[in-house]
Structure formats: structure tokens, C-alpha cells
Chain A
Amino acid sequence: MTEFTPFQSLFGGALIGLSAVLLMAFHGRVAGMTGILSGVIPPVPADWRWRAAFLAGAAVAPVLYLLAGGAIAFHVAVTTGALIFGGLLVGIGVNFGGGCPSGHGVCGIARLSPRSIVAVLTFMATAFATVYLVRHVIGA
């Protein structure tokens, strides 16, 4: 079980949205983690440096939050095999699908992109179906 955290989740979500707005205002780019991360995997584009800086900030911030006395729940309940298989599918899927929850889900829907709306409905549907299969059909 994980605790239902509506207020924290709403506030954290607003920070994710704020980050997307600032990235557009200052860098003119969409804050999709797939696109930003893909830009530091060789062969890298000419503008890889800001992407690396964004990724470094994203990885460091939770540590600073912990050091400042914040609490972060983290638990992985799946096997290493599931992490590897799931990771491969996530990598292949976000490349062909052109984005993930941050890019399509927040930035894309906020821009009312039809592509993003279709992508989000699709990956939400398959994620719900997969978890149902894994937990209640295969794991039952």
C-alpha cells in the first residue's frame, strides 16, 4: 500500500508544470524527459549541454530535498528481470511514441496537441491493462 497524498501530489504536480513553463519561457523547449534524455545519448545533437544541465538538476534536487529534512517514499516491488524487461519496453516505446508522461501528458496536453492526447490515452490504457494482468490474472 502507498498513502494517498492529494495535497502533496497536487503541489508537486504544479512544480512539474512550473518547470515546463519556465523551460518554454527561457529555452523555448518542451519539458519532455524522453526528448531531453535522448539528447544526451550519443550521437548527441549540438545543444546537448543544456539537456545535461537539466538532467543534473532533476537528479540533484531530490537529494537536496532530503538533506533539507524532506521525506521521500521510494519502494520497488518488482523483480530485477521486470525492471530490465520493462525498461527495454519503456525505451523502445517512448522513442517510437515520441514522448512520455512529462512530454505528452503535461506539456503536450497543455498545448492541446492531438498527438499527445492520443498518446496519453493509449499509454494509460495499456498501463492499466498491464497492471491488471500482472497483479490479478498472472499473479492471482
Chain B
Amino acid sequence: MNKLISAFAIGSIFGLGIAISGMINPAKVLNFFDIAGSWDPSLLFVMGGGLATAFIGYRLVFSRQKAPVFEADFASPDKRNIDGQLIGGAAVFGIGWGIAGFCPGGAIPALGLLYPQTPIFLAAMIAGIIIARIIKARLPSTAPA
């Protein structure tokens, strides 16, 4: 139960950060990418604030804790090398992000604002994740994620 309360609280800090930073607003995201037009450089500051905090914070955590509070080990997500799936996937994500203005981290906090566009985007995105899983399961060399 403590674990769930903790995850809820940490998720709330994430959602608050997305809301205050402006990442929650698809128009702001698209304007960041529109250097030739209505450029809004705010997202550079979101990235800078997030990166600086995580860079210092991670080092403090890893130097002071042998293990996380609720788990036996720190998970390390580096399972694969830099390959075609990573680059192709990131390229396709960027195209979708540039078309819709939403990313996963922006859309979940936007859900609570109750605009009709958010669940439409999220439903399509979840369909995309399921499509990718099906494609991956048919690829001979990779295990389904």
C-alpha cells in the first residue's frame, strides 16, 4: 500500500511539472518546433530544468543508497544497443509528435483537463503501441516487449 501511495505522489509531481512547464499544451509543443514561424523556446527550459535536476539527483541517489526503498535493485533499462529499431522508432515518434503535438508524458496529465482531443490521441497512441507489439512478435530476431 505504501508503494502505491508513493507511486501516486511521485506521479502527481510529474503531472504538476508537466502542467506548470507548459508541456501539457500541444500548441506550445508545436510552437517550440516551429522555429521558422511562431517559435516558443519554452520547452528548452523544461528540458534544461528536468535534465539538471535528474542529472544531479540520480548521482545523489546512486551514491547514498544501495537499493531503492521499495525494491531489491535499481532497474537498468539498457537492454539493447543502438540499432535500427531505436533510430527508426525515434524517427517515427518525432513525426507523430510533430503532427499531433502530444507526447505520452504530456497526454496523461492532459487527460484530467477533460478536453475531448486528449482521449482521441491516447486511444490512437495505445492502438499504435499494440500494433508495434504485434509487428515485433512477428520479427524473428526480437522478443515481444
Contact = CB atoms under 8 A, between A and B. Distances in A.
Do they bind each other? yes
Interface of A: 1-35, 37-38, 41, 49-51, 53-66, 70, 72-78, 80, 82-111, 113-115, 118-120, 122-132, 134-136
Interface of B: 3-28, 30-31, 33-38, 40-43, 45-55, 57-58, 60-61, 65, 67-75, 77-78, 80-82, 85-105, 108-113, 115, 117, 120-133, 135-136, 145
21 contacts: A2-B27, A8-B21, A12-B46, A15-B16, A20-B14, A24-B68, A27-B68, A31-B14, A51-B7, A53-B5, A53-B11, A54-B10, A58-B11, A61-B15, A73-B28, A77-B26, A87-B100, A90-B104, A96-B88, A115-B86, A124-B94
Contacts of A13: 17, 21, 45-51, 53
A62 B112 contact: yes
B7 to A, nearest CB: 4
Nearest to A90: B96
Given A28-B72, A123-B91, 10 more contacts: A17-B52, A37-B126, A53-B4, A58-B18, A78-B100, A89-B96, A90-B103, A93-B91, A102-B14, A115-B81
A126 B105 CA distance: 18
A96 B85 contact: yes
A28 to B, nearest CB: 3
A115 B17 CA distance: 25
A16 B65 contact: no
Contact of B13 (A33, A38, A61): A61
Given A13-B46, A33-B105, A87-B122, A2 B92 contact: no
Interface centre among B54, B68, B70, B91 (most CB of A within 10 A): B54
Nearest to A23: B10
A83 B28 contact: no
A88 B42 CA distance: 26
A62 B21 contact: no
A57 B14 contact: yes
Given A2-B40, A11-B20, A16-B17, A95 B57 contact: no
